[in-house]
Chain A
Amino acid sequence: MTPSAFTVPGLLPAAAEIFLLGMACVVLLVDIWLPDRYRRLTCQIAQASLAGALILVLATFPDARATTFAGTFVADPMAAVLKTFLLLVSGFGFFYARVHLEPRGLMRGEYFVLGLFAVLGMMVLVSAGNFLTLYLGLELLSLSLYAMVALDRDSKPGCEAAMKYFVLGALASGMLLYGISMIYGSTGSLDLATVGASISATGDMRLTLVLGLVFVVVGVAFKLGAVPFHMWVPDVYEGAPTPVTLFIATAPKIAAFGMLMRALVDGLGGLAADWSQMLVVLAVLSMAAGNVIAIAQTNIKRMLAYSAIAHVGFVFVGMAPGTPDGYAASMFYVLTYVLMALGGFAMVIWLGRAGHEADLLDDFRGLNDRNPWFAFMMLILMLSMAGVPPFVGFWAKWSVLREAVDAGMIWLAVAAVLFSVVGLFYYLRVVRLMYFESPRDAAPVTAFADMKVVVSVNALAILALGVYPGTLLDLCEAVIGA
């Protein structure tokens, strides 16, 4: 290519990413000059940046798939919807983080700067058009998260969790890179569209491709926390400061789903028959281990970690048939699960106070006597996670299972139903503790009005989506088909 043949790539599809990168640097610089008592401003600027990026995403909402930067960046409706949810959820996450960090004297600007970079990494990940950008987005996300987990340096569990996360995450990145190198070796390209085309064009080198595929699936499964690559999940969820746990448990799941779609469907769609079997194995193991081990937990953050593992299993159930409707069901599942996880960890933040982390199941004992509205919100969240109608968790499970049955994977659907019945036990245990036990600490639970409003909006959204699931489900189907 001669310089004269070079055309400046269209920057408009990536406007939100460029804006967010700029704003992350602005927040970093502003935070340096802020005195400690104005630290709240850092959080507000960070939230404003997310809002600005959200406006840009919606303003440049693409009608069809478009690429820029020589195909390394893909803007399509699916990426836009995923980014919308990413930004919304992260904005909520920053709010909950401020509520938690401020009274504990942990309010540091780095949390929000690293958070913004993590969001940028996720956005890069969901619109990756090339294995190179896929990997770089993943690293941007992971590096920010490792540092966020360790941000409270004086907490021993936090540092331990960060070490485990970092070492295992580095291993997973290595696996992913190894797989990508195999795929590059056999197709001669890193571009996802070119890889997809050359797989369907020739049946050559299938063995090398499948070997590469195995490593890519391992890498993605690690990031999602599917069994048997789930070892980091409970320790990180329990050890990290609660707002970091909340952040890790929500937005990165959406990004990981985007990564799954880009790598397996866009890039390696020609090998669907191979990865479908792998996902089925991962799904059954995740649902089994997640739901059964969660019963034995006494720490609610750990319980929600195992619940996250089980939910990832359900996402894989939707992916396994390899049909667009199945992907849409999985997307619906991820988006609604992230809302529920956001609410669940927000409850833990609400219940805690400076000097006391309310992360044990016993802290929820008799909650109805202490604050009935709070207990009711938690009831909605738990029942929705368990998949009880009329909450949205039921529709998510139902749509995923319907796709599995339609594809003739009856036994997979049966296994999923059985394991979700097992899961019902530990969600209902929280409900029983809240309503039928007497509290140990009779002090009423209060919170500032903004926290009450935000948590209520979060929980009632789950109820509302449960009553009208059609809109979001149709949206998912429309953007996957586009």
Chain B
Amino acid sequence: MFVQIVFYFLAAVLVGAAVMVITARNPVHAALFLVLAFFTSAGIWLLLEAEFLAIVLVLVYVGAVMVLFLFVVMMLDINLAPLREGFIRYLPVGAAVAAIVVVELALVIGVSDFGLESMPAPPAHPADYSNTRELGKLLYTVYVYPFELAGAILLVAIIAAIALTMRRRTGVKTQNPSRQVEVRREDRIRIVQMPAEPRERVDRS
């Protein structure tokens, strides 16, 4: 009973936050609502006994991805007025398409196939059950091949990003600290002998 109350509370907050993400006028607020949405879904995952994934969701998405989002949103000075201009005009069409998609999905993934009867809850695990250990065991034994492939994909992403962005431009002004430190007085100062000249007389009259 308590679990159900927690679930419905989290679910209500999640749906509310998700709606606010797409309706909030200020993009910074929208990003912060997305953070809230991630937090509440992490809570729901905790209810599902997926502790490790819940923590990872908070660490990776809230900690890294959303901070990046916030930076981007703050750095890009987007003028929102033109983006929102056609909202009312396109609302009927958009709503109709959304409704059709929802109905179609409901027909296909309906209660008949995916209801609580056909998908019973798995048995609860004992208290000393370690989610992280089980995941680690699977990841490094059964799924070791996909795991290594994912590593190769990340490597390709790094190579591609560097290959596409790094270039040696000519005429770029850069500093070389070691040369700056090693510099001697003679390199910078030239003492010249100049003949003394009479000072120009200022005419004050």
Residues of A bordering B, CB below 8 Å: 1, 3, 6, 9, 14, 21, 25, 28, 69-70, 72-73, 108, 110, 113-114, 117, 120, 124, 130, 132-133, 136-137, 139-140, 143-144, 146-147, 150-151, 153, 182, 185-186, 204-205, 207-208, 211
Contacts and interface: CB of A to CB of B under 8 A. Distances in A.
A130 B147 CA distance: 13
A208 B113 contact: yes
Contacts of A9: 144-145
Interface in B139-163: 141-146, 148-150, 152-153, 155-157, 159-160, 163
Contact of B108 (A137, A204, A208): A208
A73 B145 contact: yes
Contacts of B157: 143
Query: For this complex, into which size category does the number of interface residues on chain B fall?
Result: 20 to 34
Interface of B: 107-109, 113-114, 137-138, 141-146, 148-150, 152-153, 155-157, 159-160, 163-164, 167
Contacts of B164: 147, 150-151, 153
B153 to A, nearest CB: 5
The 9 closest A-B pairs by CB, nearest first: A147-B160, A69-B145, A110-B163, A136-B149, A70-B142, A6-B141, A72-B145, A132-B146, A117-B156
A14 B145 CA distance: 10
Given A3-B137, A21-B152, A144 B109 contact: no
Given A114-B156, A151-B163, 11 more contacts: A9-B145, A21-B148, A108-B163, A113-B159, A124-B149, A130-B146, A140-B152, A140-B153, A147-B156, A153-B164, A207-B113
12 contacts: A3-B137, A14-B145, A72-B143, A110-B160, A110-B163, A114-B156, A114-B159, A137-B149, A140-B149, A143-B153, A153-B164, A186-B113
Given A130-B146, A185-B109, A207-B108, A136 B163 contact: no
B163 A114 contact: yes
Contacts of B108: 207-208, 211
Contacts of B163: 108, 110, 114, 147, 151
A136 B109 contact: no
A136 B150 contact: yes
B109 A70 contact: no
A137 B156 CA distance: 12
Contacts of A72: 143, 145-146
B156 to A, nearest CB: 5
Contacts of A120: 152
Nearest to A25: B155
B152 to A, nearest CB: 6
Nearest to B149: A136
Contacts of B114: 185
A139 B159 contact: no
B160 A70 contact: no
B156 A140 contact: yes
